[in-house]
Amino acid sequence: MLHKVKIRAATQDSHKTSKLSVERIEGYDFTPGQATEVVLDQQGDRDNSSLFTFTSLSGYPYIGFSIKTYPERHGELEKMWSLQGGDYLLTSHPWGAIDYQGSGMFIADGAGITPFRSIFRDLHNQGELQKNISFTRITTGATSLPPLNSRQAPVIMPVSTQTEEGEGEGFQQGRIDSSVLRGFLGRIKPDYCYVCGTTDVAEDAISALKELEIDNSKIVCENS
């Protein structure tokens, strides 16, 4: 079932990301980390959907999304970039397997940080954020999501896989594998390991965690 919602405001965060604030439907509840299918309420676009993670919390009077665009690609995301307050979207029911189960290490690839931002914000509101450690992987071009507010973010340890000269400067370099994760696991000793990103990166991270004998029940990802 799709719900028609009105956009309250659309603001640009950076040259590649914008934020959408849409009206909240009564009874539309979700947990931090979940996502929904979003459809443009325009002729010819209602059969095409894109997946967006909620950046707002369930108790907020609005629903928030962050949209990242890719200039080299054309499609729904490019059209969403031009949306303004007063336009309409269609949203499906909330879904997703990523939710907070306990303190741990967060492994994100690029925009994969988005579900964790909601979790961090929720933990901050509960005064529980200091118990968490975040570990994020910066991909080519780096994540264009705005920095997490220092009051809402745990410790972030970036690792860059940039290969072009000047990219990833100041970050730990290398592929995220068992040798990289072993050091973090040894220092952090997380109760859970949260993973979100592109399929290949997520699969590599999960394989590395299992290689390090992290039990599958302690790995939180979309397929968990």
The string of pLDDT tens digits covering residues 23-76 is 998 889 999 999 999 988 876 677 778 888 898 888 889 999 887 765 555 555
Question: What are the boundaries of each domain within the chain?
Answer: 3-91, 104-220
Instruction: Please indicate, yes or no, whether the overall pTM of this predicted structure exceeds 0.75.
Output: yes
The structure tokens 């629903």 sit at: 63
Phi and psi at residue 107, to the nearest 5°: -110, 115
Which fold is adopted by the domain 104-220? Rossmann fold (3.40.50)
Q: How far is CA 30 from the centre of its chain?
A: 15
Query: SS3 of 125, please?
Result: helix
The structure tokens 């967006």 sit at: 52
pLDDT in tens, 114-143: 888 888 888 888 887 766 555 444 443 333
The CATH class, in words, for 3-91 is mainly beta
12 within 8 A of 66, measured Cβ to Cβ: no
